[in-house]
Chains A and B, each alone.
Chain A
Amino acid sequence: MKITYWLNGKKRENHIAPDTMLLDFLRTCGCYSVKCGCETTNCGLCTVWFDGKPVLSCAVLAARIDGHEITTLEGLQDEAREFAMYMGQEGSDQCGFCNPGFVMAVLAMVRELHNPTEEEMQDYLVGNLCRCTGYMGHLRALRSYMAYKQGVKA
Chain B
Amino acid sequence: MNIREYIKVQSLAEAYELNQKKSSVVLGGCCWLRLSPNRLIGTAIDLSGLGLDQIEDTDSGIRLGCMTTLRQMETSPALADLTQGALQSALRHIVGVQFRNLATVGGSICGRFGFSDIWTLFLVLDADVELYHAGLMKLREFADLGTTRDILTHVILPKQNRKIGYESLRLSETDFPVISCAAAISANGVDCAIGARPQLAELVPGGQHMLQPGLTEQTIAEYARHVADSLHFGTNLRGSAAYRKDMAAVLCRRVLTKLAKGESR
Contact = CB atoms under 8 A, between A and B. Distances in A.
Q: Is the interface of A mostly helix, strand, loop or mixed?
A: mixed
B198 interface: no
Given A19-B3, A61-B6, A41 B101 contact: no
A85 interface: no
Contact of B98 (A1, A19, A64, A127): A127
Contact of B30 (A40, A61, A125): A61
A56 B102 contact: yes
Given A18-B3, A41-B31, A55-B101, A64 B96 contact: no
B48 A64 contact: yes
A65 B1 CA distance: 19
Contacts of B32: 41
Given A41-B32, A42-B96, A126-B173, A63 B101 contact: no
22 contacts: A17-B3, A18-B5, A18-B44, A19-B41, A39-B34, A41-B32, A41-B35, A41-B99, A42-B95, A42-B96, A42-B99, A44-B96, A50-B101, A54-B101, A55-B101, A56-B31, A59-B30, A60-B30, A63-B44, A64-B30, A127-B96, A127-B97
Contact of A59 (B3, B5, B31, B46): B31
Contacts of B6: 1, 18-19, 61, 63
Query: B6, B29, B30, B98: which has the most chain A beta carbons within 10 Å?
Result: B98
A21 to B, nearest CB: 7
A54 B33 CA distance: 19
Contacts of A53: 71, 101
B21 interface: no
Contacts of B71: 53
A141 interface: no
Interface residues of A, number: 31
Interface of B: 1-6, 8, 27, 29-35, 41, 44, 46, 48, 71, 92, 95-99, 101-102, 173-174
B1 A19 contact: yes
Contacts of B97: 54, 105, 108, 124-125, 127
A127 B3 contact: no
B30 A42 contact: no
A54 B1 CA distance: 24
B252 to A, nearest CB: 25
Given A59-B30, A64-B46, A19 B102 contact: no
A47 interface: yes
Contacts of B3: 17-19, 61
